[in-house]
Amino acid sequence: MKNLKRLALILATVMMFFTLTACQSTTPTVTNPETNTSTTSKGEVELVNRDGVKIILVGNLDLKGNVLGPQIKVRVENNSGRSIIVQARNTSVNGFSMDAIMSCSVNNGEKGYDTLLFLNSDLNNAGITNIKTIKTAFAIIDGNTWYTLSTTDSVTINF
């Protein structure tokens, strides 16, 4: 039992180390076909603004902030009149299709934060060592019925 506690403590310490290490990041350029705009920003960039739902890119690509892989932070603002879930769909990195982990539940009138997370194992399998382009769409889902209300056009984020 003592050894198990020590192992748990060591594991927690290692995870904290990786979580607290300095973050490497890159400034994105976002191309949005819904608004026909291209934006470069070190701050926030609106990716989607549809039916009372805004999806906003917050910050830069964080290459070292998560042990599982690179991530990029997004904020979802919900004024749609219902509870929603926003998930990433049809995602590719540097032209390789892969799953981005993101599922953000937001009540009406509230904001929620989540990340688009890309697993190191998926990137390694695709031979990707440097992320240049992320292309993704978002599914907006009713939080009560799980019915997909809409799927956005794909947005392209270049680094």
Q: How high is the pLDDT of residue 96?
A: 97
Of residues 96 and 17, the one with the higher pLDDT is 96
* DSSP output for 25-70: EE--EEEETTTTEEEE-SSEEEEEEETTEEEEEEEEEESSS-TT--
Examine the pLDDT at 67 and tell me if it is beyond 50: yes
Amino acid at 16: M
Q: How high is the pLDDT of residue 80?
A: 97
Of residues 9 and 99, the one with the higher pLDDT is 99
The pTM (predicted TM-score) of the whole model is 0.76
Q: How high is the pLDDT of residue 65?
A: 76
Q: Are 40 and 32 in contact (CB under 8 A)?
A: no
Examine the pLDDT at 120 and tell me if it is beyond 50: yes
Instruction: Label residue 45 exposed, middle or buried (CB < 10 Å: 0-12, 13-18, 19+).
Output: buried
Residue 35's pLDDT band, with cuts at 50, 70 and 90, is low
Q: How high is the pLDDT of residue 149?
A: 96
Residue 66's pLDDT band, with cuts at 50, 70 and 90, is confident
Residue 13 in 3-state DSSP?
A: helix
Q: Are 78 and 110 in contact (CB under 8 A)?
A: yes
- Please give the domain boundaries of the chain with CATH numbers for all domains: 25-158 (2.60.40)
pLDDT tens, residue by residue, 73-86: 999 999 999 999 99
